[in-house]
Structure 1
Amino acid sequence: MHDDLNWAVLGTGVIANEMAQGLQKMGKSLYSVANRTHQKAVDFAEKYQIKKVYDQIDEMFEDENVDIIYLTTPHNTHYEFMKKALEHGKHLLVEKSITLNSRELEEMIDLAKEKNLVLAEAMTIWHMPIYKKLWEIVKSGELGKVQIITMNFGSFKEYNMSNRFFNMNLAGGAMLDIGVYALSIVRSFMDETPDEIASQWKASPTGSDEQATVLLKNSLGQMATVALSMHSKQPKRAMISCEKGYIEIMEYPRASKAVLVDAETGKQTELACGDTANALYYEMTDMEKTVKNRMHADKNDSQDEMHLAYTRDVMAIMTRLRKDWGMKYPGENWD
């Protein structure tokens, strides 16, 4: 494998467009594209001056010039595509939610390990500069221990039962679509993963999770509350309460600002870091760094800028919640 890594994208939707633009910011362009509807791939290639368009999706996995594949298809398709890509020796960046459940993810982690490949979820939170800064602040102890985290995320989606937000055949529902962001924040600010979990949920007319409230606690006594909704609007708000103050983050999936509030004086300090518009650029820069580390280091020693361990913990929580609710997707195997 060469140092100038070749990226391919599977899918041509909103994220694929952002990804192509993110690569341009890196001074690169996409090597190739594939899509279920071939004409969409042709149009996408024309838009971004991509030389290679595959007639069949499988050709992407078989192309020896492809180093990293960004998988942007609906999450119910991820497992099969991931398996083929890893078997053919491709590093993988996969849109959230990376898989449907922990069984699928564990299987893919094992396969990536066996092939010494980087497997990662495209979770913007791991890569935005504001979070790297906030984790440093929290780790330094200047705010004291993290005590309780409060997360909100709600979208008002019309009851169109054929779209991906409610369609069970497309793995619809709040947990895998927006809950994954909220739980990723929770996990990244907790010192250990939560092991006590309680929840309530409300099903949409299709049986997908339309609304949920989740309580989480770990062995250190750190707690979190998460409120999710697919048919009522809420702010994308995160509040991390520590002993000596709290951090408030709005629009948290791609945040570039946070407010730190001192517990004693109430003094507010605004922190600005990074740019929301560069979310995919940060993500792919970290992915390249991790892949290059893996290429040039002992496989057990290479640094993971992609936080797969957090992704794994979050997936375990989401799987446990859906098992509690009995909310299984058609044909899903989670055991």
Structure 2
Amino acid sequence: MKEYCWAALGCGEIARQLAENMKKWGKTLYGVGNRSYENAVKFAETYGVEKVYDHVQDMFRDDKVDIIYLSTPHNTHIKYLIEALNSGKHVLCEKSITLNSHELSEAAGLADQNNLVLAEAMTVYHMPLYKKLKEIITSGQLGPLRFVQLNFGSYKDYNMENRFFSRNLAGGALLDIGVYALSFARWFMTETPDQILSQVKFAPSGVDEQAGILLMNKQQEMASISLSLHAKQPKRGTVAFDKGHIEIYEYPRADKAVITYTEDNRQEVIEAGNTDDALLYEILDMEKAVSGGCNEMHLEYTSDVMNMMTRIRNDWNMKYPEES
């Protein structure tokens, strides 16, 4: 496989994990750009990055760059996605990939037009555990899916100016943590939900602080999701079938699941991959897709999830300043 040059736009915690995971694979991140040039220089010194860009556009114009990992605040994604894709760069973008389905449709259209890979860095789609579980389910040994139940609760500083609660930074539980839960549900459901009900509690800033979501598709598979940015909950997912149920803790980067069989309550532990290597699996799948191999980036699932989140926020009549 060709050696691809990666550049990171944004040098926060996710970019640090990216650089560390690339080192595990014997690769080095080629370039980095950031709103603060000084922070980008420090990042480059720490991780041995060759190129630091004075301006973001210099990254897009650099012929050596093949793939850009975009980890800036998600209300800036569409601007950078358009520039990167118009410059011929493949893009792996942090969740939430865009603010809404209209933005994602525009970006996906550009990727198709320029024969590029565009993907969301959704760990659920790349962890080996989920691929193994999909094989087990496809084999039929658990029978048809009936119900998915998900919790995700964080306790964030109740500061309406931070990125979790600020409308100007596209804060709120749905785009920050709900995207994981919805992606998990979509991974296991045989088709996208067409019936969606929800309730929301707004923070003083006007973004969603807490939400409950119910989903059902035409196969009558159902899902229930509870989210909160100000009440800690376990990151727990349960997937119930006729012949057994799967339980997964810390599901965004899980490497272990327990299947309990309905007939005799027998339990089977399924283990695959390593939580610490979550970004490495994304890198490997992205490079495989870019090389023309099997594309396992699942933009179709990303699109389904974005359509759900857009519909839910429309029901709440909640918009960000960029959408007004």
Shorter-chain TM-score bucket reads over 0.9
User: 1:229-287 deviations in whole A, cap 9, x for unaligned?
Assistant: 11101110000000000000000000000000011111111111110000001110110
User: Secondary structure at 1:144's aligned position in 2?
Assistant: coil
Aligned-partner Cα distance in 2 for 1:79–1:26: 30
1:1-335 alignment, distance < 5 Å: 3-293=2-292, 303-332=294-323
CA offset at residue 303 of structure 1? 3.0
What TM-score, normalized to structure 2?
0.99
Structure 1 letter corresponding to 2:295:
D
CA offset at residue 67 of structure 1? 0.2
Structure 2 letter corresponding to 1:60:
M
- Structure 2: gaps (5+ residues): none
Aligned-partner Cα distance in 2 for 1:54–1:240: 45
User: Secondary structure at 2:288's aligned position in 1?
Assistant: helix
CA offset at residue 157 of structure 1? 1.0
Structure 2 letter corresponding to 1:176:
L
CA offset at residue 154 of structure 1? 0.4
User: 1:161-220 deviations in whole A, cap 9, x for unaligned?
Assistant: 111110110000000000000000100101110000011111001010001001100001
What TM-score, normalized to structure 1?
0.96
CA offset at residue 27 of structure 1? 1.1
Aligned-partner Cα distance in 2 for 1:122–1:232: 25
User: Secondary structure at 1:331's aligned position in 2?
Assistant: helix
Tell me which stretches of 4 or more aligned residues in structure 1 moved more than 3 Å. none
User: Secondary structure at 2:149's aligned position in 1?
Assistant: strand
Structure 2 letter corresponding to 1:328:
K
Aligned-partner Cα distance in 1 for 2:282–2:85: 20
Structure 2 letter corresponding to 1:96:
K
User: 1:90-137 deviations in whole A, cap 9, x for unaligned?
Assistant: 000000000000000000000000000000000000110100000111
CA offset at residue 331 of structure 1? 2.3
Aligned-partner Cα distance in 1 for 2:191–2:127: 21
Identity percentage over the alignment?
57
- Structure 1: gaps (5+ residues): 294-301
CA offset at residue 158 of structure 1? 1.9
Aligned-partner Cα distance in 1 for 2:51–2:148: 46
Aligned-partner Cα distance in 2 for 1:331–1:8: 27
Structure 2 letter corresponding to 1:323:
N
